[in-house]
Amino acid sequence: MKKSVKLAVTASLGLLVSAASWAGPVILGGDDLTDHGSRSAGGANLEGWLYIEKAISSLFGTQTRPGALTVDIVALGSVNPGAGVYTSSNAGGAINSVANVLGRSLSFYDGATNIGTFFSDLASGAVNPGVIWIAGTGASNNLVATEGAALTANANAINSFVGSGGGLMAHGSGPVAYGWLTALLPGLTEVSGCNSSGATLTAAGSAAFPGLSNSDIDANAGPCHSHFEGNFGGLTTLALDGSNPARSYIIGAAAGGGGSITDPPSGVPEPATLLLVGVGLAGLASRRKHAL
């Protein structure tokens, strides 16, 4: 192969590689398992809180947020209940207990103004978490309408955080919980109705979050309240509920496939990249033909 051909091949492959991004892990549920869990006297998370613990642990196993982390977990939509306070049926108590068991640092941003401040600080680099956790709805000390609106206003920032390798977990039902998601994916709908009895992880769910089992997401953990339909963008179904036909109760993605919430994984180049590579290879073929 001539030197010019080698250089063209290298350039074409460089275009392909540079177009790929490194997405972080995502797990989004139509649940309020913050409300259906507790902490034992021995300090173990039970039922729905155990699901949150296993999911957060798995997120940290694969998040690749660049730079030094200033905090491990940022909790959006809950007020800090206090050090060592793990009140049942309290979203802040749930994530407080999970962070304690996992030995992870945790910062709370409660209220629309504070949520807005977080995203400003995230953009400036003043704060750099590995995982964003969104409190959801259905328990006490969780999202209210103004906080949901603040999340929706920062939907693109959430998408960019995932696209950069950050982990994301969310709970809840309705536009307060998932207005930000439907803003990113207008073809996706979050629909009331879910049956956790008989809920099962899909093959993708088991692969993405190997620490989870069916008993962590079915009626043993607690109820679910909504499911997802339509265009999931770069996400996929991680768990199906026990209805017939089964419905997408938890959606998300494993880390490392590229893309983001809005874009499918970039293991396959995007069309524009394919075109550039094709043009480069076509040029190679033409030069080789004329050289023969």
pLDDT tens track, the chain, 292 positions: 444 433 333 333 333 333 334 689 999 999 999 999 999 999 999 999 999 999 999 999 999 999 999 999 999 999 999 999 999 999 999 999 999 999 999 999 999 999 999 999 999 999 999 999 999 999 999 999 999 999 999 999 999 999 999 999 999 999 999 999 999 999 999 999 999 999 999 999 999 899 899 999 999 999 999 999 999 999 999 999 999 999 999 999 998 867 789 987 654 333 333 333 333 333 434 434 344 4
Q: At what angle do helices 145-153 and 155-163 cross, to 10 degrees?
A: 60
Give the end-to-end CA distance of the chain in Å, rounded to a whole number: 12
C-alpha 75/C-alpha 57 separation (Å) is 15
C-alpha 240/C-alpha 195 separation (Å) is 9
pLDDT score, position 265 = 66
pLDDT score, position 41 = 94
CB 50 within 8 A of CB 221: yes
Q: Give yes or no for a cis peptide into 223 (omega within 30° of 0).
A: no
> For the whole prediction, is pTM greater than 0.75?
yes
State how far the alpha carbon of 40 is from the alpha carbons of 3, 37, 46, 88, 153, in Å. Answer: 68, 10, 7, 10, 38
Phi/psi at 180 (nearest 5 deg)? -65, -35
State how far the alpha carbon of 195 is from the alpha carbons of 31, 170, 243, in Å. Answer: 10, 18, 6
Regarding beta strands 167-170 and 129-134, do their DSSP bridges make them parallel or antiparallel, or are they unpaired? parallel
State how far the alpha carbon of 238 is from the alpha carbons of 15, 121, 180, 247, in Å. Answer: 32, 31, 20, 11
